[in-house]
Amino acid sequence: VTFDDVAGIDDAENELVEIVDFLKNPAKYQRLGGTVPKGVLLIGAPGTGKTLLARAIAGQAGVPFFSLSASEFIEMIVGVGAARVRDLFKQARDAAPSIIFIDELDAIGRARGSGAAIGGHDEREQTLNQILTEMDGFDSREGVIVLAATNRADVLDPALLRPGRFDRRVLVQRPDRAGRAAILKVHTKRVPLAADVDLERLAAETPGLVGAELRNLVNEAALLAARKDQNEVHARDFSEAVEKIMLGPARHILLNPTDRERTAYHESGHALLGLLVPGSDPVHRVTIVPRGMALGATYQLPTDDRTSYAEDYLRARIISALGGRAAEQLIYGVVTTGGENDLRQVTEIARQMVLRWGMSAKLGPISFVAPPDDGLPPAFQRQPYSEATAELIDAEVRRIVEECQGEATRLLAAHRDQLVALATALLKAESLDERDILEVTGLGPPPARAAEA
């Protein structure tokens, strides 16, 4: 594995090029008295490519690679973990220049003395102490570099992060749209793709997915194509694979006509509001094929990766999410339990608007989020506000949701004909893509927000 096998995380890769150069040409740095960090901490969500990066550094530099998960150090017998650490570092020194890679560092590197560690594991602490001792006991000029990976840097013991240990931290971010396209190109090198496959479009349709998930997506699409005895993987195979990964495999259940029609109106409500509310993410696909726990789904995907969210965009998200419930109320006069997940999503967005982002005129630009306390579970942490403020927060959350519910109902009532047409087409075809949706409704993409126009 070399850097040629790594894609989509260029920033992290660029930060680690220096490590490779040091392992290849140590004299270049030593002649000026410089030393490369003994430890490099790779921080990122699961699947972002931390382990792949570590292997690529060793492969690029052509040096031995010693890898172990931190959880493998821990045993019931006290002292075994520390002995394994000593043995690992001895092997690396004997093979220098070399790389040691410790995965899931937070398994043994959690802060000592916090409430979470009361009555904790002596073996874990002994193992952590041995790692600190070993890192203090060798010189970076020996050519041994320790890489570690974690997705919880916030819980690590401060002793691990002080200068001379893991003092260089490299953030391995989720790939952006261009990064996802690059990752897909790497994983489709040996996959015969049909002419209708557009990897750039596929990258746009998979926001938030990390490298491991994209690799799984390509594999699922290839398996689907093979199951159909195709010679190439088509765009529809990738679309089906995306749905399978996000919602689960299709369930071959026979819905009664009433439930099927209600599901069609529910999903049509989501899709139609996605076209009507300014600033909404474009609707790419709507389906009433049951998958996982869902009887249907509407896929709204941003045209570009977002790094921040305006208040009107968040309200647009809430309005669209309430579209299913509003459509049921408009057509049938009653609502069902089908909107449970929508309500959970809506409530969470509205609560974050009030608690975290200061989007309540009554409460003002104040954050009501308490700093995390590792010593106590969330249920036992003290809220950083009074009971009176808590009541006001609840009232503001309710106000935002009710205002958005009113707007969803108003828009669907004004476009009832398009709602009926879309539901009818969905009952016939079961799945509609963006072009079909625009053709059936006679509408264009959602108008841009004033700030974007």
Q: Which residues are catalytic?
A: 267
Q: Is the peptide bond before 447 cis (omega within 30 degrees of 0)?
A: no
Number of Cβ within a 10 Å radius of residue 48: 25
DSSP state of 229: T
Number of Cβ within a 10 Å radius of residue 435: 8
What is the Cα–Cα distance from 260 to 423, expressed in whole angstroms? 10
Strand order in 98-103's β-sheet? 65-69, 98-103, 144-150, 39-43, 168-171
User: Do residues 88 and 37 lie in contact, with contact meaning Cβ atoms separated by under 8 Å?
Assistant: no
Number of Cβ within a 10 Å radius of residue 6: 24
Q: Which of 129, 189, 178 is nearest to 157 (CA)?
A: 129
Give Cβ neighbours of residue 178 (< 8 Å, ≥ 6 apart).
8, 203
**DSSP helix/strand/coil, 294:** strand
Structure tokens belonging to residue 378: 């969330």
What is the Cα–Cα distance from 236 to 26, expressed in whole angstroms? 51
Strand order in 283-287's β-sheet? 297-300, 283-287, 431-433
What is the Cα–Cα distance from 125 to 102, expressed in whole angstroms? 16
User: Do residues 135 and 100 lie in contact, with contact meaning Cβ atoms separated by under 8 Å?
Assistant: no
User: Do residues 51 and 103 lie in contact, with contact meaning Cβ atoms separated by under 8 Å?
Assistant: yes
DSSP one-letter string for 127-176: HHHHHHHHHHTS-GGGSEEEEEEES-GGGB-HHHHSTTSS-EEEE-PPP-
User: Do residues 157 and 109 lie in contact, with contact meaning Cβ atoms separated by under 8 Å?
Assistant: yes
Q: Which of 385, 275, 294 is nearest to 339 (CA)?
A: 294
